[in-house]
Amino acid sequence: MAQEQQILARITKMVDDERKLRDALASGDMDGTTEHQRLGALERELDQCWDLLRQRRAKAEYGENPDEARVRPSSQVEGYQS
């Protein structure tokens, strides 16, 4: 359960960072190209964290070891539908 809390804490921090980046971009405080790249990287990492959390919960629900869940490549998790 501690691992799940760490993942949730990481997700919360990334969502806060994403919000700050979007606000800075919208207000014109930051260079658009650079910030779009930073936002893209953050969104991909966030997708991976959500995927890892879902994997862990599914494994626990079906009696498997949640610690066997692994981070999947962003190219794989980006195509998933919520």
**For 47-71, what is each residue's pLDDT tens digit?**
999 999 999 999 999 999 999 999 9
φ, ψ of residue 70 to 5 degrees: the values are -130, 150
- Whether the pLDDT of residue 81 is over 80: the answer is no
Backbone conformation region of residue 63, classed left if phi is above 0, alpha if psi is from -120 to 50, else beta: left
Provide the pLDDT for residue 17. Answer: 93
The pLDDT tens digits for 25-37 are 888 877 778 788 8
pTM, entire model: 0.83
